[in-house]
Amino acid sequence: MTPHTLRAEWIKLRSLRSTWLVLAVSLGSILMAAGLALMANGMYDAAPASRRDAAQLTELEDVVIIVPQLCLGILGVLAAVKDIPASYLAVPRRWPVLAGKTAGIAAIGLIVGQAAMFGSALVTRLVVGDRFHLEPLADRVPLLVVSGLSVVVLGLLGLGLGTLLRSVAACVALLAGVLYVFPIISFNVPGVAGEWGRSVMIGGLPRLIVGADLTNTVYGTRLSASGAAAVLAAYAVVPVLAGVWALRRRDL
Amino acid sequence: MRAEWIKLRSTASTHYAVGTAALVLVLGVAWTLYVDSIWHERGLRSAAAAEEGFLPVVQLAVAVIGVLAATGEYATGLIRQTLTVTPRRSRLLLDKAAVVALTAFAVSAAVLLATASAARLVGDYPMAELDVAQLLAHALAATVLSLAGLGLGVVTRSTAGAVSGVVALLFVVPGIVNLLPTPWSTRIGAFLLPNLVPQAFLPERAGLEPLAAIGLLLLYAAVPLAAAWAVFTRRDV
């Protein structure tokens, strides 16, 4: 990777219209959290005082995180699929181009992921005020950071898949597969296989990594914290390496 | 219409999508054998039948066929030639919709029926009885999704945008609504696409009347197609 390819990839990425759309939708997750919190407020205030103490609110950043995850995944796919022939004429050695794209997507993912997680956690707390006894923000910092990093992972997963398969439709469908279809199937499989499936789902990994309580969730607990970190990293590293491998062997 | 059929049939991505859907049959048999082994070993109260577990795979694959029927031509630029040869746009859109609908229904019905029958042939564990009408309703829902994909594809002219739209309809919105506080999750949930077929067949579950559910299901195809018609007949390409 030279400063040239890095700069070129950065300019390409930032001048795509889809990049900005994806960023806007990603950060829209903060507004979504605010809207959901307002709705929850309405219900809380309408409930009789005796039932208010028992009222609980799901952590809204866990609900909306799927939006930046999916968005970065799509951005990664688009960055890989959209401009391949011209780039490889200009930069005949291929891995620097992919390295530049990886750096760009990782940087965007890092910023968007952290912004979306901390933004929605903060906004939720501002909107609900002292209702619902939410966990203090300070206690959730490790989980918010790691959940935000899962957005980077999705971006790189999209980039790797895009490089490997070169088809937007297949890659976006696969992203939906990883984020939704695989979990749905895992929930329905009984026995050890289902337990393992529920343990390696992206949604549960951040909680496993920071050692959060998983007793009331759908996720499995087969992995240790370091094992979960390794699996989360593998979701990003394996597809990107597979992309490098494919690029070295292929015509275009 | 014949032209649209040849286009759809000869595109590699259609083959991949149909292949993915067909893979469900293989996965379904593997699933059934696995669940069976657990059932024989230590018993199970109940477990989902294979066709139920892999339904989202079929839905997604068929939806992608619909999207690509529209955006595939935009991506290659061949839509210009198509429009030169077939300048009547309402007719073109209608033919595309017909071909997509027939293909989507045939593929999803065949895969679901085959998987369900294979599961019951291979497996001994207790699963819900084979209900052909319900499976056909699921195939209808997959067809609706495919047509919604076609409509979104024409409107956005972007594969990524349209596939994301379908994914939002199928997974993202229901996922978020599911996590809303209780009266809202069921109230709004009743109107969401994945919940319509179950409501049509399990009327005892509070929600929409069966006919209303099917009607709403058809709206999920009609609205994106109407939007597609509105922009397609007014736009340059």
Q: Does B52 touch chain A (CB under 8 A)?
A: yes
Q: Does B35 touch chain A (CB under 8 A)?
A: yes
Whether residue A111 has pLDDT greater than 90: yes
Q: Running DSSP on this structure, what letter comes out for residue A251? A: -
pLDDT of residue B188: 87
* Contact call for residues B159 and A168 (beta carbons, < 8 A): yes
Q: Residue A167: phi, psi to the nearest 5?
A: -135, 120
Does A172 contact B61 at a Cβ distance shorter than 8 Å?
A: no
- What is the rounded average pLDDT of the residues A111-118? 96
pLDDT of residue A85: 57
pLDDT of residue A91: 65
B positions 161-190 inside 8 Å of A (CB): 163-164, 167, 170-172, 175-176, 179-181, 183-184
Whether residue B166 has pLDDT greater than 70: yes
Q: Which of B65, B167, B185, B188 to mutate to test the interface with A (most CBs of A within 10 A)?
A: B167
Residue of higher predicted confidence among B207 and B79:
B79
- What is the rounded average pLDDT of the residues A68-88? 83
Query: Sorting pLDDT into bands at 50, 70 and 90, what band is A92?
Result: low
Whether residue B206 has pLDDT greater than 80: no
Q: Closest partner residue to A66 among B47, B64, B172, by Cβ? A: B172
- What is the rounded average pLDDT of the residues A8-14? 77
A positions 189-228 inside 8 Å of B (CB): 189-191, 193
Retrieve residue B200's tokens: 């049509």
Whether residue A12 has pLDDT greater than 80: no
pLDDT of residue B22: 87
List Cβ neighbours of A241 (8 Å cut-off, separation of 6 or more): A160
Predicted confidence (pLDDT) per residue in A18-62, tens digit? 788 888 999 999 999 999 899 888 888 888 887 777 777 878 888
pLDDT of residue A90: 64
pLDDT of residue B204: 61
ipTM given for this complex? 0.86
Predicted confidence (pLDDT) per residue in B123-147, tens digit? 888 888 888 999 999 999 999 999 9
CA B171 to chain centre: 12
pLDDT of residue A1: 58
Does A70 contact B167 at a Cβ distance shorter than 8 Å?
A: yes
Q: Is B210 exposed, middle or buried (0-12, 13-18, 19+ CB in 10 A)?
A: middle
Residue of higher predicted confidence among A14 and B189:
B189
Q: What is the mean pLDDT of chain A?
A: 87
Whether residue A80 has pLDDT greater than 80: yes
Residue of higher predicted confidence among B237 and A138:
A138
Distance CA B4, CA B96 (A): 6
pLDDT of residue A4: 77
pLDDT of residue B20: 87
pLDDT of residue B115: 93
Using a CB-CB cut-off of 8 Å, the residues of chain A touching B13 are 167, 169-170
Please give the span between the terminal C-alpha atoms of chain B, in angstroms, as a whole number. Answer: 19
Predicted confidence (pLDDT) per residue in A125-147, tens digit? 999 888 887 888 888 999 999 99
Query: Sorting pLDDT into bands at 50, 70 and 90, what band is A205?
Result: very high
Percent of chain B with pLDDT over 90: 43
Domain range list for chain A = 3-249
Whether residue B46 has pLDDT greater than 90: no
**Chain B: residue nearest A78 by CA?**
B160
Residue of higher predicted confidence among B180 and A42:
A42
Query: Sorting pLDDT into bands at 50, 70 and 90, what band is B209?
Result: confident
Predicted confidence (pLDDT) per residue in B85-133, tens digit? 888 889 999 999 999 999 999 999 999 999 999 999 888 888 888 889 9
Query: Sorting pLDDT into bands at 50, 70 and 90, what band is B58?
Result: very high
* Contact call for residues A35 and A128 (beta carbons, < 8 A): no
Whether residue A248 has pLDDT greater than 90: no
Using a CB-CB cut-off of 8 Å, the residues of chain B touching A64 are 176
* Contact call for residues A109 and A70 (beta carbons, < 8 A): no
Token pair 């992921």 is at which residue? Answer: A113
**Mean pLDDT: which of A53-57, A136-140, A235-239, B68-72 is highest?**
A235-239
Does B52 contact A188 at a Cβ distance shorter than 8 Å?
A: yes
Which residue, A130, A140, A80, A108, is CA-closest to A20? A108
Distance CA A144, CA A127 (A): 18
Query: Sorting pLDDT into bands at 50, 70 and 90, what band is B149?
Result: very high
pLDDT of residue B225: 95
Whether residue B205 has pLDDT greater than 70: no
Does B163 contact A168 at a Cβ distance shorter than 8 Å?
A: yes
Which residue, B231, B194, B201, is CA-closest to B56? B194
Whether residue A73 has pLDDT greater than 70: yes
Q: Is B236 exposed, middle or buried (0-12, 13-18, 19+ CB in 10 A)?
A: exposed
What is the sign, positive or negative, of the torsion defined by CA atoms of A208, A211, A215, A221? Answer: positive
Using a CB-CB cut-off of 8 Å, the residues of chain A touching B53 are 184-185, 188-189
pLDDT of residue B2: 80
Q: How many CA atoms lie within 13 A of A31 on its CB side?
A: 5
| Helix and strand numbers, DSSP H then E, in chain A | 13, 0
Query: Sorting pLDDT into bands at 50, 70 and 90, what band is A216?
Result: confident
